[in-house]
Amino acid sequence: GEAELRRRAEAGDAEAGWRLGEALMARGEEAEAVKWARWAAEEKAYTPAMWLLGMWYSEGKGVPQDELEGCKWMRRFHETSIEQGVNVEANKAMLVAFDAQISQLTGGAVPSGDGDGLEAALRRRAEAGDAEAGCELGEALMARGEEAEAVKWVRWAAEEKGSAAAMRLLGGWYM
C-alpha cells in the first residue's frame, strides 16, 4: 500500500517515489505528489517520473500550467532514455521534435539543423554516408514538417544505401 511505497521512497527507491507521487495526486495531495515525482526525476533520473512531471505541467496538475516546462520535462525524458540506451532511435527523433517545439514556444525559429546538437550530428553522419543517420534525420525533419528535405534523406538512404528501415519508412509515408 501507500505506507509501503512511502517507506521504500524514503529509503531511496525511485520507482516507489514515482508511484507514491501518482497515488498522492490521485487523492488530491498535489504538493506532496509533485515533491515525490520531482525527487524521483531530479535526484534519481527516473524517466517515468520525468514523463509524469511533463504531463502535470502540460495539464496544470499540481503545478501551474506551463506548456514550455512540460516540454522541457518531456525532452529530458527522451534525452535520459537515450543515455540509458532505451529505444535510442525513437527517442532521438522525439528529442529533435521536442527541441523544435521548445524553440517555437520560446519565440525562436524552428531549428535549422545548423549547430543544434543531435540533428546537426545526424546531418554530419548522413553527409558522410551513414544510411541509419540519413533515415533518423529524415524522421526528425518529417516530425517537424519539413517533408521535402525529409523525403530527400530517407529516399537517399533507401535507394543509394539499400537501407531496409528507410524503405519501410518511405513506404509508410506514401501509404
**CA 94 vs CA 19, 25, 76, 166: distances in Å:** 25, 27, 11, 17
**The predicted structure's pLDDT at residue 108:** 67
Sign of the torsion formed by the C-alpha atoms of 137, 154, 133 and 115 = negative
Q: What is the pLDDT of residues 42-60, one digit of tens each?
A: 999 999 999 999 999 999 9
**The predicted structure's pLDDT at residue 117:** 65
**The predicted structure's pLDDT at residue 30:** 94
DSSP H/E element including 165: helix 164-174
**The predicted structure's pLDDT at residue 113:** 40
| Long-range contacts formed by 112-118: CB under 8 A, 24+ apart | 113/141, 118/92
The low-confidence residues of the chain, meaning pLDDT below 70, are: 108-117
CB 74 within 8 A of CB 98: yes
Q: What is the pTM of this model?
A: 0.62
